[in-house]
Amino acid sequence: MAKVTILGATGNVGIFAAHTISEIPYVSDMLLVGRPGREDFLAGCCRDLSDSFAARGTDIRLSYSTNLADTKDSDIFICTAGMPRQPGQDRNDLAFENAKIIAETAETIGRSSPDAILFLVTNPVDVMTAVALKYSGLQPRQVFGLGTHLDSMRLKSLIARYFRVHVSEVHTRIIGEHGESMVPLWSATTIGGIRINHLPTFSGLPAQEMIDTVRTSGEAIIRDKGSTVYGPGEAIATLVRTILGDENRILTVSSYIKSEIHGIGDVCIGVPARINRNGVFPVPLSLEEDEVAGFKESVVKIRKITAEVMERLEAAR
Ligand SMILES: NC(=O)C1=CN([C@@H]2O[C@H](COP(=O)(O)OP(=O)(O)OC[C@H]3O[C@@H](n4cnc5c(N)ncnc54)[C@H](O)[C@@H]3O)[C@@H](O)[C@H]2O)C=CC1
Ligand SMILES: O=C([O-])CC(=O)C(=O)O
């Protein structure tokens, strides 16, 4: 059984993630962490969630805190703390402001919970994963971000609708940045176990339109309803279940790669990784030429933003 701590629990994604994670049978304790001054709101969240646990018959010890010192025995931290983007902003516009929050938080967690897993949701998630890895001092397997898992789910849903099949029949992946330079892996896309380009209807597939829809999905939801919540909240729960259940699923998350993909590495970015109770392990891959080219471009972009943020963080210390 495990203790799960949610940082940024008073936010839209954090509180819905608390709800989705509470359905995971391996969770015995849940700690909601918010900023000082938010005690009443956190207390209200605990009462409200407890009612839902009772209605569902879930038995989880739920508590809240505004002090990181209380997080000590956590097995897994989910970090949703930080600014969300506003309509018209790019996720990368948040990089430095959110990096300051993540660096400070990760430093404390690394010192007080050296065996924990640290799961980043805060955007831009690839850069935040690198910042958390550096400032926590944890091992690469212990630190990862939601990466392109949600993007992969969005593409899966579009493909399933196009071919009129159940979503569980579709396997697909998007790798690279959780952002503009994301790269769809059509070579790794199957429907009912059959490679998508072996299906007669493949020639009519509006592939570019689909990937454009995925690319702009977060932006469109934020424009229409203020924030993305249900997609990320469920995606977060999938990852937490995979870890705590030691499931060894291969999901596409932001992880530190050394050189696993065509010799490309030294960056935190969305890649397929085997995930279990010990953490996240990128899977070496062989891709099509155009996919490698797209991935390289994405890596160059994320490396540059990450380096700039790291430099500014060091200068600000
Ligand atoms: N990677 C992904 O796929 C997704 C990432 N996100 C990201 O998750 C983050 C949270 O999004 P929302 O919950 O919608 O935002 P929100 O504004 O509703 O919540 C943000 C939370 O961060 C906390 N926070 C803000 N500044 C802080 C500081 N200086 N120190 C500590 N805590 C602080 C707030 O108190 C609040 O609890 C954003 O960065 C957003 O872009 C959101 C959805 C999907
Ligand atoms: O778009 C955003 O800013 C939130 C996010 O990352 C997503 O839902 O994909």
Given pLDDT bands bounded at 50, 70 and 90, which one contains residue 5?
A: very high
Catalytic residue among 149, 178, 198, 262: 178
Ligand 2 centroid to residue 61 C-alpha, Å: 30
Q: What are phi and psi of 74, to 5 degrees?
A: -70, 140
Nearest protein Cα to ligand 1, atom 19: 11
| Nearest partner of 256 among 123, 150, 152, 126, judged by Cα | 126
Does 178 participate in catalysis according to the annotation? yes
- pLDDT of residue 294 exceeding 90, the answer is yes
Cβ of 123 closer than 6 Å to ligand 2, yes or no, is: yes
- pLDDT of residue 202 exceeding 90, the answer is no
Q: What would the mean pLDDT of 35-50 be, rounded to a whole number?
A: 98
Tokens encoding 45: 């969240």
Strands 76-79 and 2-7: parallel
Average pLDDT of the chain to the nearest whole number: 97
pLDDT at res. 201:
87
> Is the ipTM above a cut-off of 0.85?
yes
Q: What would the mean pLDDT of 102-129 be, rounded to a whole number?
A: 98
Cβ of 124 closer than 6 Å to ligand 2, yes or no, is: no
pLDDT tens digits, residue range 48-79? 999 999 999 999 999 999 999 999 989 999 99
Q: What are phi and psi of 194, to 5 degrees?
A: -105, 130
**In angstroms, rounded to a whole number, what is the distance separating the alpha carbons of residues 287 and 55?**
48
pLDDT tens digits, residue range 92-103? 999 999 999 999
Residue 86, Cβ neighbours under 10 Å: how many? 11
Ligand 1 proximal residues by C-beta, below 6 Å? 8, 10-14, 34-35, 80-85, 94, 98, 101, 121-123, 125, 146, 150, 178, 227-228, 232
In 112-221, beta strands by DSSP E: 117-120, 143-145, 170-171, 174-175, 183-184, 190-191, 194-195
pLDDT tens digits, residue range 223-238? 999 999 999 999 999 9
